[in-house]
Each structure stands twice: as C-alpha cells, then as structure tokens.
C-alpha cells in the first residue's frame, strides 16, 4: 500500500540549536530532494525548511521503512543520535491533517502568521523542480493551499497584530496616517526600543537616536540606519519628532510634564506619540493627559498583543473545523483512486448505458419475440465487455505502477465517475476484490489513506 | 407618486444609516460596499424626488425652507461621496447618512411651511441661500470628520483598539479633512451672511432676529476655530469640538427659519 509519511521537527519539539543544524538553505532544497529520492525508499518527496520547522513529506509503498530512512537521514546530519522526543512522524491521514494545519499557520509559533504559506509554496515549487512530486503529494499540497486560503478568508485567525513592535507601528499609522517622512526619536538603548525603532524605520520614518553615551547612540544609529544626536539637544529633538520610543535605564522620569509643556508649545500641538518601553518608566503618567500627546507603555502594548492572541486562539478552533472538512474531502478523493471501486463504477456506467439504449430500441422493433430480445441483450453485454476489456487490463496493470493513481484519476475524469459513486461501491464490494476492498475501507475508516498496489 | 418617492427615499437613507453603523461597529470584509451602494440608491431616489419638485426645468428648488433642507441633504450626500474618493473615509457614512436622513425628514414637514412670498424674492436672496447651502454642506462634512476624530481619539486614549478603532480613519486624515472642509465652508458662510444682510435691508424687513443671532454665533465659532488653528496651531480634539459646535449652530439657524416658516411667518 502506498501511503503518506512525514518526519520532522518543529518549534514544538526541538530547540533552535537543533533546528538550525538541520535547516536546508532554499537554493539547496532541490538537490537535497534528489538525494532523498535517489535512496529509492520514497516514491515522492518534499522538504519544508523554515526557521521553525524542518519536515520531510513523502509517499512510499513501505511507509514504515521510509520513515525509518528519513529519521536516519536527519540523524546523519546532526552527527549524533536524535532522540525520539525531538522528531515526530505521522502516517496516512494524519499527514494530510498536518500539512493542512501547517499551511494554514495553525501549527506556527505565532498562530496565524502569514509567512508560512509562502514558505510551503516555495518548498512545493522546489520539489516540483526536483521532479519529486507526483499525483499524491501534488494533490495534497494543492489542497493544503486551498485550505489555507479558506482559513484566511473565513476566520479571523490572521487579524490583529501580535508583536509589540508592529503594534507600535500600527498605532503610529492610526495617528499619523502615512508614516513616510515622519520622524522617530529613539531615546535610550533598550533592546525592545531598538526593535520598535527598526519596525518604524521600515515604514519609511526617519530615525534619530539620543543616548546619554554618544558612542552608544552612534553605534545604535548605524545599526538601525538612523542618525545619532547629542543628548543636550533632547528638547529640540522632542519638538521635531512625531514618534518617541523611550527605553532608557533611568530610574527617574525623563519626560516630565515640565519638560513636555515647553515641547508641546514649541511643536504647536502637533500630535506626538510616545511609546514608553522602559522599566522603570521614562514618561511621567501626567504627560499622557496633555492634549495631542498619546502615551503607551509596555503593559498597554503587551495587553493589545494578548487580546489579539486570544482572538486568534478563538478563531483557530473554527480553522480546525475547516481543516477537518478539507481532510475529509481529500480522503474521499483518495478513496476514489482505489482500483476496485473504479472498475466497478466503470462497469456499472457502461452497463447502464447499454441497458438504457436497449430500452429505447426495443419499442421500435415491432413484433420482436422474446428470443430476439435475448439476442439483443446478449449483444449489448458482449459489446460492453469487449469495449472494456482492454481498458480494464491496462488499468489493472497500470495501477501497480508508481503513477497508477494518475491513470485511475484519468479514467475517472474521462468517464465522469464521481467520488460518491465510488464510496457507495466500496460499501458493497464484490467478487475477488472483496477482501482487499474491505480491508481498504477499514483502513480508510481508521485513518490510513492507502492505495491498492 | 411624490409621497411614495419621499417614503422610498427616506427608507433608503434609513437603511443606509443602519448598514453604515453596522459596518462601523461589526465590520465585514464581504459587505464593505453594501452600505455605500444603498446610500447611492438613496441619493438616486432623492434626485428623482428633487426633479419632481423642481419649479421649472433648470431652476434650483430653493424657493422655500423645505426645499433648502432637501437640497442640503442631497448635497451632503454627494459631497460625502466625492470626499470619500479623496480621503478614503467611506466609513464616515455612519455619521453622514444620519445627517442626510434627518435633514430630508425635516424637509418633509414642508407641507406645513409657508413659501416665501414673491414680494421678497430677489437675486440677492437666491445668492444668500445658495452660498449658505453649500457652506452648510461643507460644515456637515467637517462635522462628520470631527465626530470621527473625537470618537477615534477617545478610543485611542482608553486603549480600546478593537474593531471601531481599526475601521475609522487615522487621526491625521480626520483632522485634515475637518480643517479643509471648514476652510471651504467659512468664506461661503461669510458671503451668505453679507448677502443676507443686504437682502434684509433691501426688503426693508427687520425680522429673523433669532436666526440672525444664531448665524452670527456660528460664524464667530468657525472664525475662532480657523484663527486658533492657523495662529495658535490648534489641532485635534479641541478643533474638532469647536467645528462640531459651529455646525450645531448652523443647524439651529435652519431650525429657526423652519419654525418661523411653520408658524406661517416667512
């Protein structure tokens, strides 16, 4: 039975020290895949490598051995035995569910983050380039992309920003509209302040850096693409800035109401957005009451992040439902690719046509005796049998080949055999296929998506 | 026919109000264009109604206070549509549509308003009315932007950064829109006041004390807002509140006229 398998590790199971050693650079993906494929254990292979996960997806006639192989390959790169607690593996229907969840960003470190879908698509393209994607993985990933799209459109999983820096940016946009050409003043050298300043810099604001130590200011300014300004010019800089990020290590308030009163007057009430990331705080709470001055401290931003995260968590359960629906759709497609039900459905379709045509022809034959009738019926049957003989032989032979699924899929499409029809046939198997099909149906019910081989 | 069209227009305006408010508070990615479409339909019905009302083809229906209210309501809708192309402020329909509806309904009480007697009609009167109607339309937009600003700033200060905050435009856009609309409306209001005074002297009347006083107050408020904005760099909440107050007074002027007209004392 050809089946899906995935072996990998992610932020859930492995620390970054391990993940970074396994990561594959994008330009090496195709080569790695060819190497995997040449080992002969896999019919298809696809490698996803991001900073949060490294996973090998494959289909194989012998999934257990394939999983074992993949594990060994991963272990080989780590140059030390990988504990089972670091690597996970799934088989059958669980692989499908896993891909759909990964692509929909349900398995991401930050649920709902948008990058993962692009990364999965790149991995898919690389695998196509390496020629290691066939019918099964192809259909599986195409449907994973569709699932991700549905999740994005039908749930609010990607709504709201969840990092402090980007929340600061969004707030600034809600105050100033366009940030292009606005000025950010970074006051102090805290790490979070630096990352917020970077995010703002990316939206097109100019950046000025003020620090008690000019040297440190200089270094920070170079790092973030800004300009260092001497500390003595603080009040002038405050008057010119639109966004102030305060993250000094000072024990006392630096932006006091007395200082800010003069600043507000000089800046003629232009709005000022102050982000106070310092602990202890740099901005006197009274400053927040001044007209056109908006102060957010680290708790405020953190709270927004948490609210947005909890919204995402709520939406995630709706997304899981969508994933389940899509998994079910995939399973029914997969089941339709089994040989036996396809043959049954094909016979039934042809037989039906013969019977219908007979029904139409008989009334037009005046005085046809029952023996005439029998002759015509026999002719219909034999016509069907003769017409189907060669396709059936080819189908049975071809189903055993690696691309068997493709052939069956083609037949289904050529003769418009629907998936439901097949499912119904599986429920009432017949002939020598009996045991096989029964076994398949049972496998499908318990989670495998195996294919007759 | 006329009554039916009036009711249809009013219902469409009301529906647009509900839909805009729903869009503002609940939001929906799919139905984003629905309120705007309904609002345009309301304007279409309103236009048909105005054409039915028009005294003669090509002539503006500005003969009595009811028509003035109706034309103002229509003009606010049109100006808002234009502004939302310029500023991307579609969501402000939540504040504009109720204004349109209110003025339109007020115009419907018009059957009880006495028309302006022919003896006091003159070109000066038409100029006076036209300038004030266009001014009113500009102030209505400034008012909507002001309401948006005050709501938005309140949400920002109270850290309620949910749906409404996300859907309203940025403070900068609202402030700029408010300033520009007042700058457009103010010269028109000034011109309207001057022509009005001339007309009053011409007609030899000495009535309308209340409306004139209210008009002066509105003028003074807008003048104050502009002076403080330009000279003292006033911005944001205070400017928005001032603008809103000025608009309320211009509405009171209209209400004054309407009450007088309803008293048959034009």
Kindly list the residues from chain A whose CB atom is less than 8 angstroms away from the CB atom of residue B238.
291
Q: Which of B169, B172, B236 sits opposite A291 (nearest CB)?
A: B236
Structural domain includes residue A171: no
Test A303 with B235 for CB contact under 8 angstroms. no
pLDDT 10s digits, A172-216: 999 998 888 899 999 987 777 888 888 888 888 889 999 888 888
Q: The domain that contains A250 carries what CATH number?
A: 3.40.50.720
Structural domain includes residue A314: no
pLDDT 10s digits, A125-184: 999 999 899 888 999 999 999 999 999 988 888 877 778 888 888 899 999 988 888 999
Residue of B nearest to A152 (CA): B29
DSSP A70-133: HHHHHHHHHTSPPPTTT-EEEETHHHHHHHHHHHTTSSSSSTT-SHHHHHHHHHHHHHHHHT--
The Cα of A51 is separated from the nearest Cα of chain B by a number of Å equal to: 31
DSSP B99-148: HHHHHHHHHHGGGGSPPPPGGG--HHHHHHHHHHHHHHHHHHHHHHHHHH
Strands A206-210 and A272-276: unpaired
Number of domains within chain A: 3
Using an 8 Å Cβ cutoff, are A199 and A161 in contact? no
A270 and chain B: CB distance < 8 Å anywhere?
yes
Kindly list the residues from chain B whose CB atom is less than 8 angstroms away from the CB atom of residue A300.
159
Same domain, A394 and A251: no
Domain range for residue A402? 337-446
User: Average pLDDT in the B137-164 region?
Assistant: 92
The Cα of B160 is separated from the nearest Cα of chain A by a number of Å equal to: 9
Is the pLDDT assigned to residue A241 strictly greater than 50?
yes
B156 and chain A: CB distance < 8 Å anywhere?
yes
Q: Which residues of A carry out catalysis?
A: 51
pLDDT 10s digits, A37-70: 887 788 899 999 988 899 999 998 888 888 888 8
Kindly list the residues from chain A whose CB atom is less than 8 angstroms away from the CB atom of residue B150.
none
pLDDT at A1: 56
Give the separation between CA B149 and CA B175, rounded to whole angstroms.
Answer: 7
* Degrees to nearest 5, angle at CA A57 with A51 and A59: 175
Using an 8 Å Cβ cutoff, are A224 and A209 in contact? yes
Report helix angle B2-25 to B93-108, nearest 10.
Answer: 160
Give the separation between CA B219 and CA B222, rounded to whole angstroms.
Answer: 5
Is the pLDDT assigned to residue A96 strictly greater than 70?
yes
Q: Which of A174, A178, A304 sits opposite B171 (nearest CB)?
A: A174
The Cα of A433 is separated from the nearest Cα of chain B by a number of Å equal to: 50
Best residue in B153, B161, B169 for a mutation probing chain A (most A CBs within 10 Å): B161
Kindly list the residues from chain B whose CB atom is less than 8 angstroms away from the CB atom of residue A153.
29
Looking at residue B54, the DSSP 8-state letter turns out to be -
Is the pTM here over 0.95, yes or no? no
Give the separation between CA A354 and CA A388, rounded to whole angstroms.
Answer: 13
Structural domain includes residue A317: no
Same domain, A117 and A219: no
Same domain, A292 and A396: no
- In chain B, which residue ranges form alpha helices assigned H by DSSP? 2-25, 34-53, 65-87, 93-108, 123-157, 163-167, 171-203, 209-232, 236-262
Q: Please, which residues have CB within 8 angstroms of residue A447's CB and are 6 or more apart in sequence?
A: A92, A93, A94
B157 and chain A: CB distance < 8 Å anywhere?
yes
Is the pLDDT assigned to residue B117 strictly greater than 70?
no
Kindly list the residues from chain A whose CB atom is less than 8 angstroms away from the CB atom of residue B29.
153
Give the separation between CA A164 and CA A168, rounded to whole angstroms.
Answer: 6
The Cα of A154 is separated from the nearest Cα of chain B by a number of Å equal to: 10
Same domain, A373 and A252: no
Same domain, A12 and A123: yes
ipTM over 0.95: no
A303 and chain B: CB distance < 8 Å anywhere?
yes
Cα dihedral across residues A408, A409, A412, A415: positive or negative: negative
pLDDT 10s digits, B36-75: 889 999 999 988 888 887 666 555 666 677 888 888 999 9
Kindly list the residues from chain A whose CB atom is less than 8 angstroms away from the CB atom of residue B155.
none
Using an 8 Å Cβ cutoff, are A247 and A189 in contact? yes
Structural domain includes residue A127: yes
Using an 8 Å Cβ cutoff, are B100 and B218 in contact? no
Between positions 164 and 193 of A, the ones with CB within 8 A of B are 171, 173-178
Domain boundaries, chain B: 2-262
B161 and chain A: CB distance < 8 Å anywhere?
yes
Specify which of A71-80, A288-297, A302-311 reaches the highest per-range mean pLDDT: A288-297
B165 and chain A: CB distance < 8 Å anywhere?
yes
Same domain, A191 and A149: no
Show which of A119, A154, A189 is a domain's final residue. A154
B167 and chain A: CB distance < 8 Å anywhere?
no
Same domain, A192 and A139: no
């Amino acid at each position: 039975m050809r089946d899906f398998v995935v072996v990998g590790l992610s932020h859930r199971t492995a620390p970054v020290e391990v993940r970074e050693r396994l990561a594959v650079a994008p330009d090496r993906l195709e080569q790695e895949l060819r190497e995997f494929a040449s080992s002969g254990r896999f019919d298809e292979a696809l490698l996803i490598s991001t900073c949060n996960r490294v996973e090998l997806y494959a289909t194989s006639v012998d999934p257990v051995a394939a999983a074992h192989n993949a594990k060994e390959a991963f272990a080989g790169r780590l140059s030390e035995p990988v504990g089972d607690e670091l690597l996970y593996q799934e088989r059958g229907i669980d692989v499908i569910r896993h891909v759909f969840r990964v692509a929909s960003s349900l398995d991401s470190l930050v649920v709902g983050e948008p990058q993962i879908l692009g990364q999965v698509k790149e991995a898919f393209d690389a695998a196509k380039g390496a020629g290691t994607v066939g019918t099964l993985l192809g259909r599986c990933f195409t449907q994973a992309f569709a699932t991700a799209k549905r999740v994005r459109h039908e749930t609010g999983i990607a709504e709201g920003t969840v990092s402090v820096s980007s929340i600061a940016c969004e707030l600034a946009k809600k105050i100033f509209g366009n940030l292009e050409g606005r000025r950010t003043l970074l006051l102090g050298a805290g790490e979070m302040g630096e990352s917020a300043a970077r995010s703002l810099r990316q939206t097109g604001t100019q950046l000025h850096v003020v620090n008690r130590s000019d040297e440190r200011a200089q270094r920070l300014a170079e790092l973030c693409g800004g300009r260092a300004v001497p500390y003595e010019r603080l009040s002038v800089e405050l008057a010119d800035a639109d966004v102030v990020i305060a993250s000094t290590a000072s024990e006392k308030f630096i932006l006091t109401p007395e200082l800010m009163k003069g600043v507000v007057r000089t800046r003629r009430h232009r709005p000022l957005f102050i982000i106070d990331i310092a602990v202890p705080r740099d901005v006197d709470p009274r400053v927040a009451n001044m007209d056109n001055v908006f102060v957010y401290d680290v708790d405020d931003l953190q709270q927004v992040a948490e609210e947005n995260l909890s919204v995402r968590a709520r939406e995630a359960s709706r997304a899981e439902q969508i994933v389940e629906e899509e998994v079910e759709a995939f399973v029914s497609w997969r089941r339709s690719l089994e040989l036996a039900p396809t043959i049954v459905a094909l016979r039934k379709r042809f037989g039906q046509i013969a019977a219908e045509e007979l029904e139409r022809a008989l009334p037009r034959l005046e005085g046809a005796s029952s023996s005439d009738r029998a002759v015509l019926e026999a002719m219909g049957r034999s016509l069907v049998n003769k017409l189907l003989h060669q396709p059936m032989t080819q189908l049975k032979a071809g189903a055993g080949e690696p691309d068997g699924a493709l052939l069956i899929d083609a037949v289904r499409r050529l003769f418009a055999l629907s998936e439901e029809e097949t499912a119904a046939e599986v429920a009432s198997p017949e002939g020598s296929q009996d045991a096989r099909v029964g076994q398949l149906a049972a496998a499908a019910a318990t989670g495998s998506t195996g294919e007759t081989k | 026919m006329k009554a039916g069209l009036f009711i249809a227009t009013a219902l469409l305006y009301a529906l647009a109000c509900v839909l805009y408010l729903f869009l503002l508070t609940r939001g929906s990615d799919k139905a984003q264009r629905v309120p705007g479409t309904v609002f345009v339909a309301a304007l279409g019905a309103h236009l048909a109604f105005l054409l039915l009302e028009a005294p003669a083809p090509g002539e503006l229906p500005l003969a009595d206070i009811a028509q003035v209210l109706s034309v103002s309501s229509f003009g606010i809708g049109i100006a808002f549509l234009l502004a939302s192309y310029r500023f991307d402020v579609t969501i402000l329909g939540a504040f504009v549509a109720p204004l349109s509806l209110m003025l339109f309904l007020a115009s419907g009480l018009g059957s009880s308003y006495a028309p302006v007697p022919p003896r006091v009609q003159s070109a000066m009167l038409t100029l006076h009315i036209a300038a004030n109607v266009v001014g009113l339309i500009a102030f209505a937009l400034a008012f909507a932007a002001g309401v948006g600003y005050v709501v938005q700033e309140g949400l920002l200060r109270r850290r309620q950064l949910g749906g409404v905050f996300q859907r309203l435009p940025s403070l900068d856009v609202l402030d700029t829109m408010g300033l520009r609309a007042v700058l457009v409306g103010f010269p028109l209001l000034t011109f309207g006041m001057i022509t009005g005074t001339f007309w009053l002297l011409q007609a030899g009347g000495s009535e309308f004390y209340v409306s004139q006083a209210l008009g002066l107050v509105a003028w003074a408020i807008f003048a104050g807002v502009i002076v403080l904005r330009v000279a003292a760099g006033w911005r944001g909440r205070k400017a928005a509140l001032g603008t809103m107050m000025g608009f309320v007074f211009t509405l009171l002027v209209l209400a004054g006229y309407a009450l007088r007209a309803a008293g048959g004392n034009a």
